[in-house]
Amino acid sequence: MSAAGAAALVEEAARDGLLEVHDPETDLNLVDLGLIYRLTYRNETRRLEVLMTLTTPACPAGDIIIDGVQRRLSLLPDVDGVDVELTFDPPWTPDRISPEGRAFLEG
Amino acid sequence: MAAAPDSFVRHAPSFKLIQAHFGLGLLGLLLFSAALVLRAADVTGFFLQPLLLGLVHLCVLGWLMPIALGALHQLVPVVFETPVRSERLAWIAFVLYAVSVPVFITGLWTSALGWALPLAGSGAATAIWLYVANLAATLARSRRRSLTGLYVLAALGWLLLAVTLGALLAWNLQRPYLPLFHVALLRAHAHAAGLGFFGLLIMGVAYRLLEMFLLSHGASERAGQVALVAVHVALLTLVPALAFQLGRPALALAAAAAAVGVAAFITQVAAIFRRRLRRRVDVSWRYTATALVYLSLTAAIGAGLALGPARQPWVDRLPLAYGFLALVGFAGSVVIGQLYKIVPFLVWLHRFAPYVGLKRVPSAAELLGERPKQVQFALMHAGLVAFLAGVLIDAAALRVCGAAAFVASSLLFVRNLGVVLARQP
């Protein structure tokens, strides 16, 4: 398998893993909530880079969500470290919620 | 309860500080409920009497104020992204408050404590001045400006005025020295506290909490801005008009401005509600919606008192209904509804958060089922409506039944929060 293919597999596993990390208030997972902007796996360092946001800069659970992302992704095989970068550019909007997430919130 | 790791909510104060305030407030709720049911038959007549002064201050200083102060210490650092200026000062204020308020309320209720009454009143006022100084210093350090911040800052200003007037009144009760009519100043004090502090605080904080809990995004803040201005027009007219007995035109202006303020507040809440992403509404939202009904009724009765006919027996009962609706109906409903959100969230934060990412943890809402909350909601509001009807038609039996339902709802509320506090990962 190519290096790019191997990285894509880890990134897919990471995305699946983040389906298990939920926002404490809405109980919606971070992926469907649209908080994860980018996942990048570096083969050479075996580290995962996460670019993510929060629904608001003043989110009271912000630190916990970030810690949860690090904890969950650290459990993945082939991952020696996780680097989470928080950004509000662009800011989160409800448009980022997936159709599955919308169905969950409206249910 | 285990302390949360440092990374959790960097700016939040210690959980113990919040627990202490909420614990004192819940004790105040139980005492107020018990006092209300025991003396419900006597809750009638002119409001300047020891029983009613004691009950009102037990409700405000015993129940509502500690919870409002605890919630402010939790909310201000998170929303404004800066830690409380001095947690030590917050503890000093808390101890002074917890020591002074019981003596002050006992003094009001019994009229038998002599100089201990104004001394305890001054102690409680000093504690609140310390709280206000600490929270204002915290807000001043923040670079984040928001509509909620303006509301909170304004509410703290009105709180300063209210407690200063209250301390002056406590000394005046012991030995009259003020050149103004005591009852007139008491009315000004009550409105500075009720509309100025609790009203503005609840409005400003509601915008923020509702957006957060309903996952509402992008609602215009225009109505909230109008409400802030209108409520200030009302307060800046009403408080001097009551204190200096300026007469009906000033009261009419204040009533009109307050009505605009309430309408704008409800419009802002409705705008946030319409843009919510969470379609399911829980008991906390029902509490908020019910509180809005009580607030509208309060504003209508207030306008009636300002503009209404000359004294009639039924008109004389309106001030009691007005105060009860404002404090227990509006402020009490908001406080209980929001505690159903805040307490599970804090328990989740400090007990379940360390397991996020490692295993499936329940959401904050899952820490307590909806059913016990719904039963408590029904009991509380059935009690409030019965008690209010008993005040309006002067029916002691109805007041006793209403107070009995209210005390049952208070016990169930404390039990419900106990269930949340007992949850383990």
pLDDT string in tens for chain B (425-residue length): 333 333 335 667 888 999 999 999 999 999 999 999 999 998 887 777 899 999 999 999 999 999 999 999 988 887 787 889 999 999 999 999 999 999 999 999 998 888 899 999 999 999 999 999 999 999 888 877 889 989 999 999 999 999 999 999 999 988 889 888 999 999 999 999 999 999 999 999 999 889 888 888 889 999 999 999 999 999 999 999 999 999 889 999 999 999 999 999 999 999 999 999 888 888 989 999 999 999 999 999 999 888 876 566 666 788 999 999 999 999 999 999 999 999 999 899 888 988 888 888 888 889 999 999 999 999 999 999 999 999 999 999 999 999 999 999 999 999 999 999 999 88
Specify whether the CB–CB gap between B311 and B325 falls below 8 A: no
Name chain A contacts of B213, Cβ cutoff 8 Å.
25
Pairing relationship of beta strands A81-86 and A47-52 according to DSSP bridges: parallel
Q: Do B217 and A25 touch (CB under 8 A)?
A: no
Residue of A nearest to B341 (CA): A25
Concatenated DSSP letters of B184-232: HHHHHHHHIIIIIIIIHHHHHHHHHHHHHHHTB-----HHHHHHHHHHH
Q: Does residue A11 surpass a pLDDT of 70?
A: yes
d(CA B187, CA B250): 14
pLDDT at B404: 97
Residue of A nearest to B144 (CA): A58
Query: Best mutation site among B76, B356, B366 for testing chain A: the one with the most A CBs within 10 Å?
Result: B356
Give the DSSP H or E segment for A23: none
pLDDT at B251: 93
Q: Do A102 and B12 touch (CB under 8 A)?
A: no
- Count the neighbouring beta carbons within 10 Å of the beta carbon of residue A45: 11
What size, in residues, is chain A? Answer: 107
pLDDT at B1: 36
pLDDT at A49: 96
Could you tell me if B363 lies within 8 Å of chain A, comparing CB atoms? Answer: yes
Torsion angle (degrees, nearest 10) of CA B127, B131, B134, B136: -130
| Residue of A57, A59, A94 lying closest to B277 (CB–CB) | A94
Which of B47, B174, B177 minimizes the C-alpha distance to B104? B174
pLDDT at B383: 98
Give the DSSP H or E segment for B396: helix B396-422
pLDDT at B3: 36
pTM to 2 decimal places? 0.91
3-class state of residue B131 by DSSP = helix
d(CA B410, CA B380): 8
What size, in residues, is chain B? Answer: 425
Structure tokens at B252: 């009419």
Q: Residue B310 CA to chain centroid, in angstroms?
A: 31
pLDDT at A68: 92
Residue of A nearest to B348 (CA): A24
Could you tell me if B3 lies within 8 Å of chain A, comparing CB atoms? Answer: no
What is the ipTM for the molecules in this complex?
Answer: 0.83
Q: Does residue A7 surpass a pLDDT of 90?
A: no
Give the DSSP H or E segment for B355: none
d(CA B143, CA B354): 30
Burial of B293 (0-12, 13-18, 19+ CB in 10 A): middle
d(CA A26, CA A34): 13
pLDDT at B10: 60
pLDDT at B47: 77
| Residue that the structure tokens 């996942």 belong to | A39
Which residues are registered as beta bridge partners of B276? B216
A39-84: per-residue pLDDT in tens? 999 999 999 999 999 988 777 788 889 999 999 999 999 899 999 9
